[in-house]
Amino acid sequence: RVLTMALVEDGAAMQLPSKTRSRVHASTVDPSEPPLKIQKAPTLARADGNYFPIGELSVHVRRWVIRARVVHVAPIRKFANRASGQQESLLAWELCDSTGKLRCVTFRGTAEKLAPVLLEGVAVLVSLGKLKVSRGALEAVLDESSIVEPTTDDVGLPYDCYDVCPIAKLSQREVGSLVDVAGVVLSVEDGGHYLAQGKSERKCKVFVADQSMGRVAAHLWAQLADACTKLEPGTGLLLTKMRISAYGGLGLYSTQESKLVTIGEHPDRAQRWFASAKPDRDSFRAVVDDVVLPVGNTVEAMAKQDQALLAGTVARNALHGMLVVTVLQVRIDVNRPPWYLACTEPVPAMEGTRECNKKVQEGRCGAGHECENPNVRYSMLVEFADHTASFWAMCFDQAAERLLGCSARELFDRMRSEEPEATLSQVIHALVGQTVVVNVKRCIAEYGGRGIERRIVAAGAATASAHAAALLKLLE
């Protein structure tokens, strides 16, 4: 076997001769044989400066040498290999030149050797890596045969390469992809603690707004959550390497590579994202307090996506979309109120426990739990429309509460103490005709015939500024 290994020593790339062959195991090497000599590999530097631009790389490019700057190095991560059962290492880092950025990953011994010498801000020459597509982005996998060579030629290389996405356009990005977000802190909520590998870690939720009139909840874990305790409303914030998630509504979740940067911590790299914004806490609150990520999608476009999902041409289990729509009608009556009695029995969840929430009839829920004091939760069918088409969707507790303006328990008590029909008519009359922003989740339903099931997972009042932004997007 040909044994090659790339090392970085004292600023120079080192490589074992490719002609060296390992004849026997290291423990049985004959002492009389001369030791292997490590020689300097030929430098990757080119006098003409003609390197391969990152923006032109693809999986079809086999031989390439890039000159780029290290802009991000994640902590080395340990994990158990399911196939071998051994503990392995993973090091992820990111390169950037004037044409784009490239994520690099290394495993096992190569990761251990590169971790101490890869520093953010250093310019390097990289070659002999395998290119592949991961989560919609190009990625380079480096192994023992790859070469990483520091260089002093960093002319024209940017010091940062943020993929800052306007919050109002997050719904247009692919779920699961990584983005950077720059904005202003609206509020911070402590999420308590959770167990991770036997250790108690903190989690918190930070609500961030920007000038796109969008607001999003960023869920931070472990060390990032600890740093959130110092954040105050109005602080300029930059969150990097956040993963887009549609679980419980569109949101951002921190990853192993995520970082939290404020203007005070790193002014030379973060100030540029806030220089033009001139953030003011009160003005941001006035714009985005009741807006949930308005975008210019239409009901007609959503219906075409649903048909593709039903036909199997979309490789997804579910789709999400943000719409600015008008409430046409609500399908309820006195015999079928917009709420149901929900079981409060604790059941296992992804994090700890949650309430069962199954419908309670005659003191017992569908899961067999006996419930003497059930909760009241919304469940109503609503028709929405815009200028292109209309659709029906189910609204459950939180989304319905935002639409109706009162909790299910409050409406339940009012219907018991007042005239039920008049109370229900008054609440529905106030909702019909309202222009709202909704996050619609669509998935394939098999019961009652194969079709598309639509559910409102988030809703909010569309302010004049939000509605105008959506209409402007349509005109563009």
Residues of the chain short of pLDDT 70, as ranges, are: 1-43, 45-48, 160, 196-198, 211, 213, 248, 263-296, 313-318, 333-335, 349-352, 448, 462-476
Cβ contact 206:271 at 8 Å: no
pLDDT number for residue 285: 31
Cβ contact 109:135 at 8 Å: no
Please give the Cα distance from 318 to 27 (Å, whole number). Answer: 55
pLDDT in tens, 214-224: 778 898 988 88
DSSP 472: H
CA geometry: angle 438, 166, 57, nearest 5 deg: 120
Please give the Cα distance from 453 to 394 (Å, whole number). Answer: 8
pLDDT number for residue 317: 64
What DSSP line would sit under 301-323, residue for residue?
Answer: HHHHHHHHHHHT-S--SEEEEEE
Please give the Cα distance from 44 to 64 (Å, whole number). Answer: 10
Q: Are strands 375-385 and 339-342 parallel, antiparallel or unpaired?
A: antiparallel
pLDDT number for residue 390: 92
Q: Partners of 364 in the beta sheet?
A: 361, 370
What DSSP line would sit under 406-439, residue for residue?
Answer: S-HHHHHHHHHHS-HHHHHHHHHHHHTT-EEEEE
Q: Which of 476, 474, 446 is nearest to 299 (CA)?
A: 474
Please give the Cα distance from 122 to 370 (Å, whole number). Answer: 63
pLDDT number for residue 278: 40
SS3 34: coil
3-state helix, strand and coil shares in percent for the chain, rounded to the nearest 5: 20, 40, 40
Please give the Cα distance from 236 to 267 (Å, whole number). Answer: 10
Which phi-psi region, left, alpha or beta, contains residue 352 (left: φ > 0; alpha: ψ -120 to 50)? left
DSSP 374: -
DSSP 167: G
pLDDT number for residue 66: 92
Q: Which of 106, 124, 8, 15 is nearest to 66 (CA)?
A: 124
Please give the Cα distance from 24 to 294 (Å, whole number). Answer: 65
Q: Partners of 173 in the beta sheet?
A: none
pLDDT in tens, 33-58: 544 443 444 567 666 678 999 989 99
Place of tokens 């985005």: 288
Please give the Cα distance from 59 to 250 (Å, whole number). Answer: 31
Residues in the chain: 476
Q: How far is CA 63 from CA 51, 94, 130, 146, 301, in A?
A: 11, 20, 10, 11, 42
The pair of structure tokens assigned to 30 is: 């004959």
CA geometry: angle 317, 323, 325, nearest 5 deg: 130
Q: Is the pTM here over 0.85, yes or no?
A: no
Place of tokens 């990032």: 224
Q: State which amino acid sits at residue 156.
A: G
The pair of structure tokens assigned to 443 is: 């998935």
What DSSP line would sit under 178-238, residue for residue?
Answer: EEEEEEEEEEEEEEEEEEETTEEEEEEEEEEE-TTS-EEEEEEEHHHHHHHTT--TT-EEE
DSSP 113: H
The count of other CB atoms within 10 Å of the CB of residue 36 is 12
Q: The dihedral of CA 75, 76, 78, 84: what is its sign?
A: positive
Please give the Cα distance from 310 to 65 (Å, whole number). Answer: 44
Q: Which of 258, 237, 245, 240 is nearest to 177 (CA)?
A: 245
Please give the Cα distance from 270 to 231 (Å, whole number). Answer: 16
User: What are the two backbone dihedrals, phi and then psi, of residue 58, each rounded to the nearest 5 degrees?
Assistant: -155, 170
Mean pLDDT over the full length of the chain: 75
Cβ contact 146:110 at 8 Å: yes
Cβ contact 336:321 at 8 Å: no
Q: What angle in degrees, to the nearest 10, is found between the helix axes of 408-417 and 397-404?
A: 60
